[in-house]
Chains A and B, each alone.
Chain A
Amino acid sequence: MIHARGLSRTFAKKRGRQSSEVKAVAGVDLDVEAGEIVGFLGPNGAGKTTTMRMLTTLLAPTAGTATVAGCDLLTDPVGVRRRIGYVSQAGSTAPENRAGEELVSHARLYGVSTADATARGKQLFAELDLDGLWERQPKAMSGGQRRRLDIAMGLVHVPGLVFLDEPTTGLDPQARANLWEHIEALRRDRGTTVFLTTHYLDEADALCDRVLVIDKGSIVASGTPDELKSSVGGDLLTVTSTRAAEVAGRMAGLPGAETARVDGDRVTCRVPAGGAALVALLRDLDAAGIEVTGVESRRPSLDDVFLTVTGRSLRDGEHPAVPEPAAEATR
């Protein structure tokens, strides 16, 4: 669905008389197959939005090539536009207009007849839990409803590929979980390919078949959430026992285990395939008559992944390394 090679975007930046160049995106290669949900994960300013704006024809790349939905990005942007849906962070409707009318006039720009657009729009409203809001003004809707209206706007011409830019930013946890279900349903019920950006690890984890981690304009890691987590070096076992030293000794005997760390009566250790290792360890401890008061096996989070590949925690990454002018302008 998407095949990009060396996609780059440089912004000219003027400071006084000196002008310098800022590389917002530095040679991104990416491939997304039909029917996939792929997440673009990275801190603010990593180049997520800039890459997405290039792939959706809104921003001309300064270098590189891409094929999006079967059309060449540079020579056939209109073909790309016809085949994709784009849901930006900024919204898509005028606050005073009626939701249904905005949807229909948007569909008309894709050559959909008014009758078809109305039928499709009403169906989308039903699917996205927007029943009864056809005549509502977007300004009178909740944040979650407006986001779903934006998604309906991006889907009304039935594109095979949808770009979602930070779809759940600013939503409360319930609205986020609800939106995730709708995004999953897009693929399940319509076979739509979804490419989304996020800076939430749990979102990438919950939704995406594959995750591309971007930092400072380059892709630094990619794979399924599980693959990425396995690259961290295994699951974290935690055992609580009054005989911590003995537990640590036996933990070290687990196949592939790293050195165990003892902290009071808590013992922690990374091992591959934590579940199986934990069962073996408990049998072993039980046989030796060592009493255990608590056990836990935790899969590494995508935050651990981000820390491993960039040396920084994603949560610390709130200072944008590279300004993202496009995102700033819409704020």
Chain B
Amino acid sequence: MSTMVRDTGTVFVRALRTSLRNPAWLVISLMQPVLYIVLFGPLLEPIAGQLGGANAYQVFVPGILVQLGLFGSAFVGFSLIAEYRAGVIESQRVSPAPRAALLLGRVLRDVLVLAVQGVVLVLVAVPFGLDASVGGVVLTILLVAVLGGSLAAVSYALALTLKSEDAFAPLLNTVLFPVVLLSGILLPMTLAPGWLQAVSDVVPFSHIVDGARSLFAGDFGAPDVGWGALFTVLLAGLGAWYGTSQFRKESG
């Protein structure tokens, strides 16, 4: 087990260093949440009442946090394809390191990046008028980090199977686009007609977004919170299982 911890740490440190060595990536990943707040947030202020809360940012910021968790982690597979091309994955797979460590080290880097982005997003939203429960914000960022980690694991596994940006990009767009629209990330699904709400209910991410909104409002006992947490934990289990199985596969 100690090898697992040690090798996860080694892979994590290397992955983080690779990210930090790329200043363009660092700026873009921190600018993204800021741009959402600055360029999209003000559009919601006049319709705050319709959104079901006195404070537009209390509804908007949790959605953006979940979106960050979705997009930030779904695209990490691209970096893995680049690493595969450079021979890094093969050279790590021929080492005695546990396959799960090769995955987990990278996922932890993505979780850390997500958490930092989430904190920046919330801090930027405060001067714009965000008013939310501090405990709820902390729990939401935690939820988003776990969600992002599980999606990152799935993204790595898919990238390792496909090994081609040309196949990976269309797959991501096909899956992510409807998910974002149906999860009520940008606008709450309470605004939707009945049939659309029914479809949305089937998408697990919509419950996570609702859960995050309840947490921001300080309503810790809301059923949404429980469902959101449950779906996140299920996704985490799925990501860990699928990701590790792909890293373990002795082929290709």
- Interface-forming stretch among A86-94, A179-187, A294-302, A304-312? A86-94
Contact among B21, B95, B251 with A59 in the assembled complex (CB-CB below 8 Å): B251
Q: Find out whether the CB atom of A109 lies under 8 angstroms from the CB atom of B7.
A: yes
- Are B91 and A94 within 8 A (Cβ)? no
In the complex, whether B55 has a CB less than 8 A from a CB of chain A is no
In whole angstroms, what is the CA distance A88 to B82 when docked?
16
How does the 8 Å CB contact mask read for B63-88 relative to A, with 1 for contact and 0 for none? 00000000000000000001101111
Chain A residues whose CB sits within 8 angstroms of the CB of B17 once the complex forms: 97, 101
B50 within 8 A of A: no
A30 within 8 A of B: no
- B10 — which chain A residues lie within 8 A by C-beta? 105, 108-109
Partner of A58, one of B3, B11, B93, B97: B93
Chain B residues closer than 8 Å to A326, beta-carbon distance: 252
Between B3, B7, B163, B251, the greatest number of chain A beta carbons within 10 A of the residue's beta carbon is seen for B251
Whether B91 and A106, one on each chain, are in contact in the complex, defined by CB atoms closer than 8 angstroms, is: yes
Does A320 sit at the interface, judged by CB under 8 A?
A: no
Q: Is the CB of A93 within 8 A of B88?
A: yes
Give A56's nearest chain B residue, CB to CB: B94
Asked whether any CB of chain B lies closer than 8 Å to the CB of A57, the reply is yes
Tell whether B201 is near chain A: CB-to-CB under 8 Å: no
A301 to B95, CA, bound (A): 38
Bin the interface of chain B by size.
Answer: 20 to 34
- Is the pair B90, A88 in contact by a Cβ cutoff of 8 Å? yes
CB distance from A52 to the nearest CB of B (A): 11
On chain A, the residues within 8 Å of B174 by CB distance are none
Residue contact B250 to A57, C-beta cutoff 8 Å: yes
Chain A residues 279 to 331 lying within 8 A of chain B, measured CB to CB, are 325-326, 329-330
- Smallest CB–CB gap between B196 and chain A, Å? 40
Across the interface, name the chain B residue whose C-beta is closest to A83. B96
- 5 closest A-B pairs by beta carbon, nearest first, are A90-B87, A91-B87, A92-B91, A109-B95, A60-B250
| Residues on B facing A (Cβ under 8 Å) | 3, 6-7, 10-11, 13-14, 17-18, 21-22, 82-83, 85-88, 90-97, 163, 250-252
20 more CB-based (< 8 A) A-B contacts, given A56-B94, A92-B86: A58-B90, A58-B93, A58-B94, A59-B251, A78-B96, A86-B90, A90-B86, A91-B86, A92-B88, A92-B91, A96-B18, A102-B14, A108-B6, A109-B96, A109-B97, A111-B96, A325-B252, A329-B163, A329-B252, A330-B85
